[in-house]
Amino acid sequence: MQRALTAEDKEEVVKELIRAGIEEEIAEQIKGEFIPAELTIELDELLEMQIEEAYARDILMVQGRREEGEVKLGDIELKVNKSKLPELIKGELRKKLRAVRDKLSRRKLDEILKKVEEKYEKAKVEPREAVGIVAAQSIGEPGTQMTLRTFHYAGVGAIYITLGLPRIIEIVDARKKPSTPAMKIKLAGEYASDRNKAEELTMEIEETYIRDIGKVEASTEDMSVWVSLKERELKRRHIGREEVEEKLKGLGAGVLVEATEDGKLRIQVQNKFYHELLRLEEKVSSTLVKGIEGIKRAIVRRDVDGEYMLYTEGSALKKVMRIEGIDFSRTTTNNIAEIADVLGIEAARNAIIEEMMGTLEEQGLDVDPRHVMLIADAMTMDGEVKQIGRHGLAGGKASVLSRAAFEVTVDNLLEAATHGETDELKGVTENVIVGQPIKLGTGAIELVAR
Amino acid sequence: MEEKREKYTKYEKARIIGARALQIAAGAPVLIKTDEIDPIEIAIEEFEKGVIPITVKRDK
């Protein structure tokens, strides 16, 4: 394991460091600081590790040092990297270890790593484990403890978001639109640090109709619709009168708009029919002047990092994407179908996991994320978001008996019979029904004589 | 019998021990020296010593 560090080795390490994105100057400097003793691990191994840039230097500093004394950052980096853990756990472990570095000794560090590796091994599932059933039970049981109330205070201003069991059902049913769509919009640059700028954005995206900024009246006297704009609302939302006029002219060909001297707008009806007048009134009042359709309200909040961000009632991911001042890569919506549409199926899978874990956590329930991940995988594996029930996952099964066992038994059997379907008896449910051993656990193992 | 033993999953282990215990219970000759009389206990001991002439078929 131990080997003297040659000049070529140094050269190679430096090259690798540059490749990893470290500036040449710093890499050269590190080369000068190599302890001339020996490598405590093989060079190949070292080069293969994914070392965080900031700690590359620390690793090289501990090379060749004897196994005693205080724990250096490099030790943590090196030992964690050497362990047989997945990258995600490694990262978390590193962060935690760095925080308690002064209380560690190298022996303790080794001990901790051993324990973590042990725990990780234990947490793995063995082949042929019935993971689906375990996942179902692991979400079903906490489900019994969840609130049944549809609405719940979300903790941010006065925006209400469906939580608890109703929300879980919504996710699992893969609804096209959640009952309470909402977005969390992160901001970029100075929008994130300046409250006023963030407030301005609020006005920019909140949907504003004519009826929100003025009074719309239909007058049978002169057969026209009168709009009296409220000065205060216009100012607050940064809307100019000309803008409104412009929008109204865009209503259709032959629409006559004129401004009177008392500040009112008059829109004339072409055909002097009463129902035409009413239709025009409705059309005028629901004309979008500013903002994004679907964003009913937006409020500014400060997040945990002290950044200003927006919470919205209503969701329109695609349109929000184009607004200046928004950090789209960190912006999310609770509408999973929308995410699948705009960002793709992998993003949708992620959204399902995040949303479900979020709702469970909000209710104080501790569920292993792997169960939720399995569900998300099952829902998205065909490239589109499918619901769990009879119109999705369960209904799409290949086996007649399995489908019949789930819901609408007679319909399924009849349908299968008219088409002359065959059941291959490959799944679990079918084999339980016909009374054969199932291909799970011990039932899936075939013995051979040695 | 110090050949390199395969690593079995808990399901494979259960299946092998179960099958072997059945053989022993039906009168098959025991392959180790033991004081145990319970076929399952005997099978477990045989399994631990790696002398059971049964393996599993893998990779289907």
Q: Write down the domain spans for chain B.
A: 10-49
Q: Which of A18, A448, A308 is nearest to B59 (CA)?
A: A448
Lowest mean pLDDT among A104-108, A212-216, A343-347: A104-108
In a domain, A22, yes or no: yes
CA distance A438 to A441: 8
Domains contained in chain A, number: 5
In a domain, A391, yes or no: no
Please tell me whether residues A329 and A187 are part of one structural domain.
Answer: yes
* pLDDT band per the 50, 70, 90 thresholds, residue A37: very low
In a domain, A389, yes or no: no
Contact yes or no for B11 and A441 at CB 8 A: yes
pLDDT number for residue A20: 61
pLDDT digits (tens, 9 = 90+) for A381-400: 999 999 998 888 888 888 99
Percent of chain B with pLDDT over 70: 88
Chain A residues with CB under 8 Å of B11 CB are 126-129, 441-442, 444-445
Q: Average pLDDT of A109-122?
A: 90
Task: Give residue A352's domain range.
Answer: 134-178+337-380
**CB-count burial class (<10 Å; 0-12, 13-18, 19+) for A375:** buried
Q: Does pLDDT of A26 surpass 60?
A: yes
Output the average pLDDT for chain A. 83
Q: Which two tokens stand for residue A330?
A: 């960190």
Please tell me whether residues A263 and A367 are part of one structural domain.
Answer: no
**Which residues of A have a CB under 8 Å from any CB of B?**
126-129, 441-442, 444-450
Percent of chain A with pLDDT over 90: 36
Chain A residues with CB under 8 Å of B9 CB are 126-128
Please tell me whether residues A138 and A113 are part of one structural domain.
Answer: no
User: Which contacts qualify for A430-436: CB closer than 8 Å, 24 or more apart?
Assistant: A430/A399, A430/A401, A430/A402, A433/A401, A433/A405, A434/A401
Q: Average pLDDT of A207-230?
A: 83
pLDDT number for residue B2: 43
Q: Does pLDDT of A52 surpass 90?
A: no
In a domain, A138, yes or no: yes
Please tell me whether residues A27 and A57 are part of one structural domain.
Answer: yes
- Interface size A-B, in CB pairs within 8 Å, comes to 38
Percent of chain A with pLDDT over 70: 81
Please tell me whether residues A186 and A329 are part of one structural domain.
Answer: yes
Decide which of A148 and B29 is more confident. Answer: B29
CA distance A421 to A278: 58
* pLDDT band per the 50, 70, 90 thresholds, residue A267: confident
Q: Does pLDDT of A155 surpass 80?
A: no
Please list, in sequence order, all residues whose beta carbon lies within 8 angstroms of the beta carbon of residue A137, skipping any fewer than 6 positions away.
Answer: none
Please list, in sequence order, all residues whose beta carbon lies within 8 angstroms of the beta carbon of residue A322, skipping any fewer than 6 positions away.
Answer: none
Chain B residues with CB under 8 Å of A126 CB are 9-11
pLDDT digits (tens, 9 = 90+) for A360-379: 998 889 999 999 999 999 99
Task: Output the CA torsion sign for A318, A319, A322, A323.
Answer: negative
Q: Average pLDDT of A266-291?
A: 81
Please tell me whether residues A57 and A160 are part of one structural domain.
Answer: no
Q: Does pLDDT of B4 surpass 90?
A: no
Please tell me whether residues A194 and A150 are part of one structural domain.
Answer: no
Q: Does pLDDT of A260 surpass 90?
A: no
Q: Average pLDDT of A260-289?
A: 79
Contact yes or no for A442 and B9 at CB 8 A: no
pLDDT number for residue A316: 92
In a domain, A406, yes or no: yes
Q: Which of A34, A38, A104, A115 is nearest to A76 (CA)?
A: A104
Please tell me whether residues A284 and A345 are part of one structural domain.
Answer: no
Please tell me whether residues A329 and A190 are part of one structural domain.
Answer: yes
Please tell me whether residues A60 and A196 are part of one structural domain.
Answer: no
Q: What is the DSSP letter of A187?
A: B
Q: Does pLDDT of A447 surpass 80?
A: yes
Please identify which residue in the block is written with the tokens 């042990």: A118
Q: Does pLDDT of A435 surpass 90?
A: yes
CB A391 within 8 Å of CB A407: no
Please identify which residue in the block is written with the tokens 């639109």: A177
Domain of A420, CATH number, reads: 1.10.150.390
Architecture in CATH of B10-49: Alpha-Beta Complex (3.90)
Please identify which residue in the block is written with the tokens 């409104």: A244
Give the minimum alpha-carbon distance from B19 to chain A in angstroms, rounded to a whole number. Answer: 9
- B4/A contact by beta carbon, under 8 A: no
Contact yes or no for B14 and A442 at CB 8 A: yes
DSSP letter for each residue of A16-80: HHHHTT--HHHHHHHHHT--SSEESS-HHHHHHS---HHHHHHHHHHTT--S-SBPPHHHHHHHH
Decide which of A57 and B35 is more confident. Answer: B35
Give the minimum alpha-carbon distance from B56 to chain A in angstroms, rounded to a whole number. Answer: 5
Compute and round to an integer the Cα radius of gyration of chain B.
12
Q: Does pLDDT of B1 surpass 50?
A: no
pLDDT number for residue A440: 93
* pLDDT band per the 50, 70, 90 thresholds, residue A219: confident
Please tell me whether residues A24 and A56 are part of one structural domain.
Answer: yes
Q: Does pLDDT of A139 surpass 90?
A: yes
Q: Does pLDDT of B60 surpass 80?
A: no
Please tell me whether residues A96 and A70 are part of one structural domain.
Answer: yes
Domain of A221, CATH number, reads: 3.90.1150.50
CB A283 within 8 Å of CB A238: no
